[in-house]
Amino acid sequence: MAKWTANDIPDLGGRAAVVTGANSGLGYETALALARHGANVVMACRDEGRGTEAVERLRAEAPDASVELSLLDLADLTSVRKFAESYAGERDHLDILVNNAGVMALAERRQTADGFEMQFGTNHLGHYALTGLLLPQLQARPGSRVVSVTSFGHKVGRMNFDDLQWERSYRKWLAYGRSKLANILFTFELDRRARAGGSAVVAAVAHPGYANTNLQSGTSFQWSNFMAQSAAEGALPQLYAATAPDVQGGEFFGPSGFMEQRGAPKRVKAAKKGYDAASASRLWELSEQLTGVTYSFG
Ligand SMILES: NC(=O)c1ccc[n+]([C@@H]2O[C@H](COP(=O)([O-])OP(=O)(O)OC[C@H]3O[C@@H](n4cnc5c(N)ncnc54)[C@H](OP(=O)(O)O)[C@@H]3O)[C@@H](O)[C@H]2O)c1
């Protein structure tokens, strides 16, 4: 995949895609690149104003794009169910789901509408529920992709099942790290369960390195600017995972440059704890209980 760029994305005519958090940063660039290559893209955004503005911006950049806005708040399971019902009401298939939306290092412990810690609830549980609810449409297309977006920050994450949702003590970066480790465990477990259940869904995970987006501008954690790449560059690993023909279930993609912070996509390795199958299975069962969403493979 030497120096793979968005120009290498194959023709996606006739393919349906959903990108969460598509109104800004990596999600916007992912929606734009998929649409430019012919996919019909649902931009799943939580705010109608920001979502509408993004759809208009995208159509101005790519006048032939087939895109639409659909409201989705991952921090509210009622909204996740409504989104999935509305999707199923309009389409019978889904080729590419990019679980991209995320919140990072919130200063105070906050909760989702369902009482989950906000980063775990939004970044992991919301996407767990969304993927499970869209599984019938994904399984209608053999080889459909579920791409989850994690972070290098997963390396500081730890699954403490005794206090998964930080009720006893809250550490904002560790909470982010846990949610991003959960994205990796979820992907590998989805891959295992899909294979075991005879499903042809391909689950892959990607991280962008460091990219200049709203996520980074809102925190005190700043790499020097020369390290940062554009959002379009940061989106390449997830675009590779979502579209390159040679992607296999359970693979992980990130930038190829210094410390995986920038550069063209390549296959990368997660921290060892990302491959802990017992932890992944426990997380899956808990996610099932907490969200009430059960996957049926086949
Ligand atoms: N930028 C980086 O260097 C970097 C590094 C590692 C990992 N990542 C990961 O990349 C992904 C995209 O982040 P980004 O850098 O592109 O940041 P961003 O520009 O802040 O985009 C995040 C997106 O997620 C949406 N979102 C947040 N909470 C949501 C919710 N409850 N329901 C639905 N959408 C929600 C945001 O919507 P609003 O605009 O309405 O807030 C926004 O569209 C995240 O998963 C992040 O963890 C980014």
Each residue's pLDDT tens digit, 194-229: 999 999 999 999 999 999 999 876 555 555 566 789
In the chain, % of residues over pLDDT 90 = 94
In the chain, % of residues over pLDDT 70 = 96
Mean pLDDT to the nearest integer, 122-149 = 98
Each residue's pLDDT tens digit, 241-289: 999 999 999 999 999 999 999 999 999 999 999 999 999 999 999 999 9
Please say if the pLDDT value at position 1 is more than 90: no
Residues with CB under 6 A from ligand 1: 20-21, 23-27, 46-47, 50, 72-75, 100-104, 122, 149, 151, 207-208, 210-211, 213-216, 234
Mean pLDDT to the nearest integer, 174-195 = 98
pLDDT of residue 227: 72
Which burial class, exposed, middle or buried, applies to 93 when counting CB atoms under 10 A from its CB (0-12, 13-18, 19+)? middle
Do 120 and 165 touch, CB atoms closer than 8 A?
yes
Q: Of 87, 176, 210, 295, which residue is the catalytic one?
A: 176
d(CA 203, CA 206): 10
Query: What six digits make up the tokens of 126?
Result: 């919301």
pLDDT of residue 186: 99
pLDDT of residue 217: 67
Measured by CA distance, the residue closest to atom 24 of ligand 1 is 101
- CA 22 to ligand 1 center in whole angstroms: 8
Residue type, 89: G
Do 37 and 67 touch, CB atoms closer than 8 A?
no
Where on the phi/psi map is residue 261: left (φ > 0), alpha (ψ -120 to 50), or beta?
alpha
Query: What pairing do the DSSP bridges indicate for beta strands 40-45 and 66-71?
Result: parallel
In the sheet that holds 16-20, the strands lie side by side as 66-71, 40-45, 16-20, 96-99, 145-149, 202-206, 252-255, 265-267
Architecture of domain 8-291: 3-Layer(aba) Sandwich (3.40)
pLDDT of residue 224: 52
pLDDT of residue 216: 77
Instruction: Calculate the dihedral angle through the C-alpha atoms of 158, 207, 199, 19, rounding to the nearest 10 degrees.
Output: 120
pLDDT of residue 295: 98
Q: Which of 111, 212, 215, 216 to mutate to test the pocket of ligand 1 (most atoms within 8 A of CB)?
A: 215
* Predicted confidence band of residue 120 (pLDDT cuts 50, 70, 90): very high
- CA 7 to ligand 1 center in whole angstroms: 24
pLDDT of residue 45: 98
d(CA 1, CA 110): 41
Please say if the pLDDT value at position 160 is more than 70: yes
Average pLDDT over all residues of the chain: 96
Mean pLDDT to the nearest integer, 38-55 = 98
Each residue's pLDDT tens digit, 52-105: 999 999 999 999 999 999 999 999 999 999 999 999 999 999 999 999 999 999
Mean pLDDT to the nearest integer, 137-151 = 98
